[in-house]
Amino acid sequence: MGCASSFHISDRVVNHSGKESEDSQNCPQPGHIKPSNACQSTLTEVRFGPMKLYEDQLQVLLVFAKDDAQSNSFCGACERAGFRCNVARTPEAALESFQEKKHDLIIMDHRHSRFFDAEALCRSIRAISCSQNTVIVAVVKRPDREEATVMPLISAGFNRRYVENSNMMSCYNELIQLHHGEIRAQIKLRACNAVFTALEQSQEAIEISSEDHIIQYVNPAYECIMGYQRGELLKENTEVPKSEQNKPDLLDNISSCLRRGKEWQGVYYAKKKNGDSVQQNVKMTPVVGQGGKIRHCVSVNRPLNDHNKTEKPCERVQAESQTDIQQFCKHKDRRKGSLDVRSTTSRGSDAGSSQRRYSSMARIHSMTIEAPITKVINIINAAQESSPMPVAEALDRVLEILRTTELYSPQLGTKEEDPHTNDLVGGLMTDGLRRLSGNEYILATKQLHHIPGHLTTPLSLNDIPPCIAQTMENEDSWDFDIFSLESATIKRPLTYLGLKIFSRFGVCEFLSCPEATLRSWLQIIEANYHSSNSYHNSTHAADVLHATAYFLCKERVKQSLDPIDEVAALIAAAVHDVDHPGRTNSFLCNAGSELAILYNDTAVLESHHAALAFQITTRDDKCNIFKNMERNEYRTLRQAVIDMVLATEMTKHFEHVNKFVNSINKPLAALEENGDNGDEDSVKSILTTPENRILVKRMLIKCADISNPCRPLELCIEWAGRISEEYFAQTDEEKQQGLPVVMPVFDRNTCSIPKSQISFIDYFITDMFDAWDAFADLPNLMQHLDNNFRYWKSLDEKKLRSLRPPPE
């Protein structure tokens, strides 16, 4: 590029092919530069908190009085980075170019003061209002002796300096660092204009204060409602005006919430400029800032629908007794659930004033989505309008509970109070802590296991070896020893027990499939269980199959289910953990496993078990037990199997149990209380509805899946040792890979197995088996459960951490 004209501007435009467009000037280039592929896109998406921004192609202005190696290197670096580049030779040209194009980055030559005063030019650019978000870099000489201070550059308006280095890659790296650092930060700051525009237009009064309660921002709606002008609040260190009508305990409650980083919402008196107090619905949200500390508080205030103008008697009573109404901190604690729905009305009201319903419920009334929960909320909302104060407050509390996402989860104690239960819940009922790291646990897409060679000719049911047949003689008893069968079959109990149980229930006849097909299917399903897992192996599958068959023989269950339900339950039990890796869902989500990615961190393993089971079954006619089924019947069976396998996921454990109790246990109990227990039609109407049959099947497989604490003591102890070892191995691997440890108490060096069993029984087992026993009549299971609990309790009381007491 020539220097004949002092106002000459070169506009270097790089198109997507990496070549200069025709209107570019002939600026000398250090050579052909291939632009970075990462920068080819015209728009780049940038995240700014919850806001999505789009970044245009960056505009760069180079201000160099003459061509030299440094300016040419920056020209080439811009091409490589895919940035649009202008070159100006004089201060006048630079100002003209900047006013026209509003560059994101200006790189200015500060090495030769005889050509132009770089600091004066920087001040001139900074005097232009749109320059506040532009990054300006000074190219300075390499110091001969002592390093000079950068303060004169900063005072002039430069953001940073670049010590001259004409190496192409050095210039390119500088541009990339600027782009991802200062420039992107300025783009985000520019986006704040949109946020402030939204705040300015909001009809709700918004106030932002510092950690010391000094007002830092109010919007026009605040000015209008409170009577203040923004200037008078911001010109000095003005504290948030406080009304004397707010009682000290309310203020302490608010401060406590905000200090703990919790949002507070409730009714609050605000003080207007004229001294009047106005009652408002207020939501205060603490915002974390520098140093990870709470630096700001955002308050969104809304008058109580102008009820302050004509105060009703009930409102006066409420205002006078404000200290008696406990406001609430909105945080996601679990609420203690109960099988007794009456418990929800016995709790103290902490939802704040009933006035809240006039504003917060208005939107719910206007909703057009008539989901069942919406109808319930509308009914409650309508009932509130004519209810006395205590009832309205209780209904407010009900509405708060209904809006939570954990309607069925009991409330836990603190981590310190009950670490075992907390860890079990964290490990079994969550999808893990998301961790952005390079550590990834790849559960590779593996080849499906084929039937081992020595089993390619399946044995007939009548040809089962005598030692195995003898072991299975009492398979219809609850006290059946699955571990003896595991030993006798050399860790292939599922095939042999499956043959016998499926034969007993006539599964082949129902599916219209030959026995040889069923044998092949059982063998290939068992081959896809991991024998290396201490717990989640084919012995566990066989155990769940055994429990399922036992439950299917109970009278109430037989009354409720059809033959297709029984077949679906047996198939679901056999496949419910196929290809289980011996790690929990939380582990796979934390590790970024392929399965977690495939299933979006939701019911990862259960979705995989169900999908793989049908993939294995239908890929080969030799083991396709569904081949001869009519299409609609197959779809019904498939849906039932999938639903039951997914029901074994623990995140919805309490939802399934509570639905079973409220939809089946309680109506049956009501019939008994009314003396209608003998009315077969009434009982049948409860048991055989499609919805309730689904609930029975879910409850059946859930109880079968975690029935270990209800087995005879020796079997219970063996299962406890196996699951503990699997959790120990997971904790070991989490520590080794630097992943979050989701169940810290399961450290093989410190874990108390009795405590873990006590917590598991208390939290998951007792209520579920109480409900299942009330339905299916299982006194022997409940006796085992009681005996086993006392056993673990006795070990814990002796401060023992092992499976068994030491030998005397």
How far is it, in rounded angstroms, from Cα 123 to Cα 120? 5
How far is it, in rounded angstroms, from Cα 681 to Cα 688? 10
* Residue partners of 754: CB distance under 8 A and separation at least 6: 792, 793, 795, 796, 800, 801
Q: Per-residue DSSP letters for 57-108? A: PPEEEEE-SS--HHHHHHHHHHHHHT-EEEEESSHHHHHHHHHHH--SEEEE
Nearest to 125, CA basis, from 137, 136, 113: 136
Query: For 643, what's the count of Cα atoms within 13 Å in the CB-facing half-sphere?
Result: 19
Angle at 94 between CA 92 and CA 95, to 5 degrees: 65
How far is it, in rounded angstroms, from Cα 69 to Cα 171? 11
Q: Which two tokens stand for residue 643?
A: 């639903």
Which of 96-103's residues contact partners 24+ apart within 8 Å by CB, and which partners?
96/7, 96/9, 97/9, 97/61, 98/61, 98/125, 98/128, 98/131, 98/134, 99/128, 101/59, 101/61, 102/59, 102/130, 102/134, 103/59, 103/60, 103/61, 103/134
How far is it, in rounded angstroms, from Cα 149 to Cα 722? 67
How far is it, in rounded angstroms, from Cα 317 to Cα 389? 10
Q: Are 241 and 326 in contact (CB under 8 A)?
A: no
The residues that bridge with 266 in the sheet, in sequence order, are: 282
How far is it, in rounded angstroms, from Cα 688 to Cα 690? 6
Compute the Cα dihedral for 612, 615, 620, 622 and give only its sign.
Answer: positive
Residue list for the binding site for AMP: 536-540, 577, 705, 757
How far is it, in rounded angstroms, from Cα 464 to Cα 799? 46
Q: What are phi and psi of 51, to 5 degrees?
A: -95, 135
Residue list for the binding site for Zn(2+): 540, 576-577, 705
Q: Specify the DSSP class assigned to residue 268.
A: E
Radius of gyration for the alpha carbons in the chain, expressed in angstroms and rounded? 36
Q: Which two tokens stand for residue 761?
A: 């029984």
The reply to whether 307 belongs to the active site is no
For residue 710, give Cα distances in angstroms to 478, 656, 719: 9, 19, 11
Q: Are 570 and 549 in contact (CB under 8 A)?
A: yes
| Count of residues in the chain | 808
Q: Specify the DSSP class assigned to residue 475.
A: T
Place of tokens 């998301």: 434
Q: Among the options 103, 536, 656, 784, which is catalytic?
A: 536
Q: How are beta strands 59-63 and 84-88 bridged, if at all?
A: parallel
Say what angle helices 753-760 and 713-737 make with each other, to 10 degrees. Answer: 110
Residue list for the binding site: 536-540, 576-577, 705, 757
Give Cα 142 to chain centroid, integer Å.
Answer: 52
How far is it, in rounded angstroms, from Cα 75 to Cα 87? 8
Q: Are 726 and 749 in contact (CB under 8 A)?
A: no
How far is it, in rounded angstroms, from Cα 711 to Cα 546? 12
Q: Are 266 and 327 in contact (CB under 8 A)?
A: yes
Nearest to 280, CA basis, from 172, 160, 360: 360
Active site residues: 536
